[in-house]
Amino acid sequence: MSDIDAGALAGTATFQLGTLGAIATERFSTAIGAFGLKPKHAGVLQVLLLDPLISQQELAHKMGVAPSLMVGLLDFLESAGAIERERDPADRRRQVIDVTDEGERLYVLCARAAASIEVELLAGLGERAEGFRKLLANVAEDFGLPTRDTR
C-alpha cells in the first residue's frame, strides 16, 4: 500500500458539509413530503417571503435553477394554492408572484420540520450548537444565502 493519506478527503469541510447536507436534505425531504412538498418548493417559498417583489426570472436566477424548472415548481405551488401569479400591471411581460395564506401555512410547517431536524443533527454539540449555527450563518452570508437575520 502507498503512503496516501486515506483520511484527506474525509477531513475536509467540503466533504463533511456535502455529506451532512445530503443527510439533512434526505431527512427534510421525507419530513415535508408529508405535506406534498419537496425541498425546492420550500426554497421557493423562502425566497418569495424574503423578497416578495421578485419576478419569476429573478427567482430562477436567485435559486440557481433553469427558468424551465422554475415554471414547473411554480405550477406545482400554484396548483397547491400556495402561490398566485399575476401579470405585473407596469410590465405585462413580467409575472408577480404572491404567497397565499396556504403558502404561508406550508412554509411554517417546513420551517418547523427543519428546526426539528436541526435539533436532531446538532444534539451532540450541546452548548456549542449556537456557536456552530453562527459560524455556518457567516459562511452562508459570504455566499449570499439567506440566514435568519436576512430581510
pLDDT tens-digit series, residues 73-86: 999 999 999 999 98
Beta bridge partners of 99: 83
Q: What is the reported pLDDT for 149? A: 63
Q: How far apart are CA 48 and CA 56, in angstroms?
A: 10
Are 55 and 49 in contact by the 8 Å Cβ rule? The answer is: no
CA distances from 13 to 21, 100, 114 (A): 11, 38, 22
* pLDDT at position 1: 62
For residue 151, is pLDDT > 50?
no
With contact defined as beta carbons under 8 Å apart, do 82 and 32 qualify? no
Mean pLDDT over 117-141 rounds to 95
pLDDT in tens, 100-116: 999 999 999 999 999 99
Residues 7-54 have pLDDT tens digits of: 899 999 999 999 999 999 999 999 999 999 999 999 999 999 999 888
Looking at residue 86, its pLDDT comes to 86
Work out the mean pLDDT of the chain and round it to a whole number: 92
Task: Phi first, then psi: give them for residue 94, nearest 5 degrees.
Answer: -100, 140
113 compared with 2, residue with greater pLDDT: 113
Question: For residue 30, with 0-12 CB atoms within 10 Å meaning exposed, 13-18 middle and 19 or more buried, which class applies?
Answer: exposed
CA dist list (Å): 19 to 25, 32, 91: 10, 20, 44
In CATH, which of 3.30.70.520, 1.25.10.10, 3.30.470.20, 1.10.10.10 is domain 37-142?
1.10.10.10
Q: Where are the domains of the chain?
A: 37-142
